[in-house]
Amino acid sequence: MGDSESTEYTFLEYVNMRLVMIYTEDTDFSGETPGMGDSESTDRTVRTDSTGNANYVQVTFTMGPQYQPNTLGGSDLIPLDSVRAGRGTFFDSTSLEHLCTDYTDDATFGLYSFDGDVSDFNDMVGQDCGPKSAMCASPDTVPDQFVSFNIPLGFEVFDNQASSDLSNNIFVDFVVNVVDTVARDAAGTAAPNEGGAPWQMKTTLTASIPIVDGGINIFCDGFTAKTDLKDVANVDIVVGSAADKEELTRLRILQDIASTDLDVVASSRIDTPSIESGLMTLVIKGNESYFDLVGNTGVTVELEDVITIHVMEDNGSGEDTTVAGQVLTLLRAPPDDNTNTTGLITDGYNLNGAFMFTIDRESQRAHLEPRSALTDICPFNPPRP
């Protein structure tokens, strides 16, 4: 929002301003921007790269019901050659530039050194992800008495300019040219009188808006993020059963098994002092630091699917040729990227060589399923030896 000086006599009311920044839309979230490598990536997240963002300032105001744009003799409500804008601390010391004439007449434009091709600017502003606002478009009619006028500023004008002391501002200055229809009708003529008819009125709108954090309207920004179970929960396996806490302390507990990177470990017999030594309990414990975050109230851990693989052989020698070795090879296979050229893959992707996720977006559920490479080695119904 911007404030402007008011006078005792003016036909402009409710003057407001807003700053607009538009990114180049990211359509695949691959983590890379063409020609710039992985500049848009951070750990476990992908955010649209802001490099080369297009900037403009929108000025809105209202006029009284008797005022209409003065289009006599080819005039405009807002003469484009009167439109100036600049960035600085104080109006008097800020250099203002005629950006609308540069934008409409030249192939390149931009405030100070923040210039670029007009065609590139139009491509960014015309994206479907943004408001697709017209620049420097003076309206011929104002049926609702509301005027919205957009002044293009160039590229990256707002970058690193936000300040808490209001020392960086965008200033605008332009003429508003109207006809007072009440005075015109009273005069009984619609023809101008050497440009000096009292019903032809002009005023200069001068306004400013500070560049502050949170004060810029950003369009075409995007953000994706993903996490693993080990980031939000710990998983243990308890072997055997216990009637109370004292018995539980004597059981064999395999802790934090979800944090493994599937490194090769030596197999060993799992013994436990319990009459139900063949019973294994999977325990999923939510990470308190995650579930206590603001906004996570009501979030729970739900177990969707559990698939266990039972290999009825010892390792012996030549592990790579054993069933256990083949399964480990599948489990160690890297996961597929869950994006393609059209965006996020919505029907599922391979978690590794053994399992895949099938995704139901409508119900917001993902299910774990074995891949054929695993069921070929370990079928659900093992054949007789």
**pLDDT tier at 196 (50, 70, 90 boundaries)?**
low
Closest CA to 125 of 134, 117, 116: 134
Supply the pLDDT for residue 8: 44
Could you give the strand order of the β-sheet that contains 223-225, starting from the edge strand earlier in sequence? Answer: 41-42, 45-47, 223-225
Strands 116-117 and 223-225 turn out to be: unpaired
pLDDT, one tens digit per residue, over 207-217 is: 999 999 889 99
pLDDT at 155 over 70: yes
- 246: confidence class by pLDDT, cuts 50, 70, 90: confident
Average pLDDT over all residues of the chain = 81
Q: Which of 57, 61, 54, 70 is nearest to 109 (CA)?
A: 54
Q: Which whole number is the average pLDDT over 102-110?
A: 92
* Full DSSP string of 111-167: STT--EEHHHHHHHHT-TTS--PPSS---S--TTSEEEEEEEEEESSSTT---SSS-
Taking residues 78-99, report their average pLDDT. 95
pLDDT mean over 256-278: 64
Residue 1 has pLDDT above 50, yes or no: no
* Integer Cα distance of 259 and 231 in angstroms: 9
Of 17-21, 103-107, 249-253, the least confident? 249-253
Taking the model in full, what pTM does it have? Answer: 0.62
pLDDT band at 5 (very low <50, low <70, confident <90, very high): very low
Question: Do 371 and 331 form a contact (C-beta atoms < 8 A)?
Answer: no
At 4, the pLDDT band (50, 70, 90 cuts) reads very low
CB atoms within 10 A of CB 282: 12
Task: Give percent of the chain above pLDDT 70.
Answer: 75
* Selected residue with higher pLDDT from 188 and 106: 106
Question: Which is more confident, 368 or 267?
Answer: 368
